[in-house]
């Protein structure tokens, strides 16, 4: 019988090497007031600003925190995307779809809804920008946490020879999953989907397998080279970031996975070719018959372009939403112009906005941006920073 729930793997008694979160503090009243004021400035809620501020002040005074309305949370999540200095796709910030799961805090419940998030966002390849928000931190009571960097990540298996089979970025999370009882495929593969690792409060993490039907993967081929398909490469369709807490009006939602869709260069010029990940440029260059004896032959550059072509071609052939770095660069400048017209700053991290391929050929390369502000809120914050 098919099930919509993530399947829990057997528990293991051994403690896992994950630091328990610090006990959350009371919400800062000034931060809450600033957000409520911003919400009322940019939208047209039915209630008055003073009336809502009175409610929030009273609730914080009584409990140390407060509860966002659905409209406030939706607005906060969208503005957090708008404030994300490393994201080139912010033109679409106001279309982010919210799944309100604030009543869910058990590990099994969180894992189940993460699987539903993947299904809901994938839509057979017509990727929809989606965020699922789980229970928030409350004073003295941490909310649930997802320890995976993304909901879908490929394992990095350490081998006896010291090499890594799979994604070298994910060796630590793979080790953690195995310590918690994950039974990896034997023999281990290059594209084994890791289980979701979730903890609730100060309890030890638990692991949950992702059902195969929840992960859409695209097999990679090349428009000109038939041999490329023989490499048996693939990548998953939905990049759902899952370890960045969402902070809205002083309230922290530690588990709030969100996704847009891939840029072709993310996969073709980083994930599959970075030396500490799949390191496939030498393989591609060899199959293309390139001279790799010197960097001056530019074999890496040429091989990378062919890899990006293969990724873009494959996603297009599979009918899976994917942006390209030229089009998205133009759309980002449209977003910057709109923000400037609205009288808002548009912080941007140049090193992330400029694509890793043909950067100088894109319009985002040829200008400066407002410096990123780590204190700007609402925001998705680094998992190392929780305030």
Are residues 306 and 222 in contact, defined by beta-carbon separation less than 8 angstroms?
Answer: yes
The Cα–Cα gap between 324 and 326 comes to 6
List the beta strands (DSSP E) in the chain.
7-8, 97-100, 130-133, 145-146, 156-158, 164-166, 196-199, 206-209, 217-219, 234-236, 240-241, 246-248, 251-253, 258-259, 262-263, 322-323, 379-380
The Cα–Cα gap between 72 and 351 comes to 32
Active site residues: 87, 90, 261, 266
The Cα–Cα gap between 184 and 173 comes to 13
Task: Please say whether the dihedral angle defined by the alpha carbons of residues 219, 95, 144 and 118, taken in this order, is positive or negative.
Answer: negative
Tokens of 243: 């370890």
User: What is the residue whose two structure tokens read 């708008």?
Assistant: 82
Query: Which residues pair with residue 156 across a beta bridge?
Result: 166
The Cα–Cα gap between 130 and 229 comes to 31
- CB-hemisphere CA count at 13 Å for 184? 25
For the chain, what is the total number of helices (H) and then of strands (E)? 10, 17
The Cα–Cα gap between 135 and 127 comes to 25
* DSSP label at residue 100: E
| CA-CA-CA-CA dihedral for 271, 278, 209, 21, to nearest 10 | -70
Closest CA to 208 of 146, 250, 164, 257: 146
> 52 vs 46, 48, 56, 250, 264, CA distance in Å?
10, 6, 6, 16, 44
């Amino acid at each position: 019988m098919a099930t919509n729930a993530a399947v829990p793997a057997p528990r293991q008694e051994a403690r896992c090497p994950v630091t328990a979160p610090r006990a959350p503090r009371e919400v800062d009243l000034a931060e809450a007031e600033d957000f409520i004021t911003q919400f009322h400035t940019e939208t047209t809620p039915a209630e008055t600003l003073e009336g809502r501020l009175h409610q929030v002040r009273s609730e914080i005074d009584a409990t140390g925190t407060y509860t966002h309305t659905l409209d406030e949370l939706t607005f906060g999540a969208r503005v957090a995307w708008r404030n994300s200095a490393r994201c080139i796709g912010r033109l679409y910030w106001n279309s982010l779809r919210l799944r309100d799961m604030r009543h869910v805090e058990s590990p099994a419940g969180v894992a189940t809804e993460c699987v539903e998030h993947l299904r809901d966002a994938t839509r057979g390849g017509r990727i929809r920008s989606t965020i699922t928000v789980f229970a928030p931190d409350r004073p003295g009571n941490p909310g649930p946490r997802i320890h995976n960097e993304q909901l879908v990540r490929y394992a990095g298996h350490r081998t006896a020879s010291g090499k890594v089979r799979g994604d070298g970025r994910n060796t630590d999370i793979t080790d953690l999953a195995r310590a918690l009882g994950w039974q990896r495929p034997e023999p281990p593969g290059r594209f084994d989907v890791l289980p979701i690792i979730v903890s609730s409060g100060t309890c030890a993490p638990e692991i949950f397998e992702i059902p195969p039907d929840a992960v859409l993967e695209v097999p990679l081929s090349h428009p000109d080279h038939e041999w490329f398909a023989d490499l048996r490469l693939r990548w998953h369709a939905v990049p759902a970031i899952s370890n960045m807490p969402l902070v809205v009006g002083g309230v922290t939602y530690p588990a709030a996975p969100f996704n847009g869709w891939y840029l072709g260069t993310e996969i073709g010029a980083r994930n599959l070719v970075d030396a500490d990940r799949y390191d496939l440029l030498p393989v591609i260059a060899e199959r293309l018959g390139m001279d790799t004896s010197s960097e001056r032959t530019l074999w890496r550059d040429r091989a990378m372009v062919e890899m990006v072509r293969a990724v873009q071609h494959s996603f297009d052939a599979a009918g899976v939403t994917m942006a390209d770095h030229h089009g998205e660069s133009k759309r980002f400048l449209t977003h910057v112009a709109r923000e400037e017209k609205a009288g808002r700053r548009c912080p941007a991290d140049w090193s992330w906005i400029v694509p890793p391929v043909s950067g100088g050929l894109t319009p985002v390369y040829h200008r400066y941006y407002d410096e990123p502000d780590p204190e700007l809120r609402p925001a998705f914050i680094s998992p190392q920073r929780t305030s």
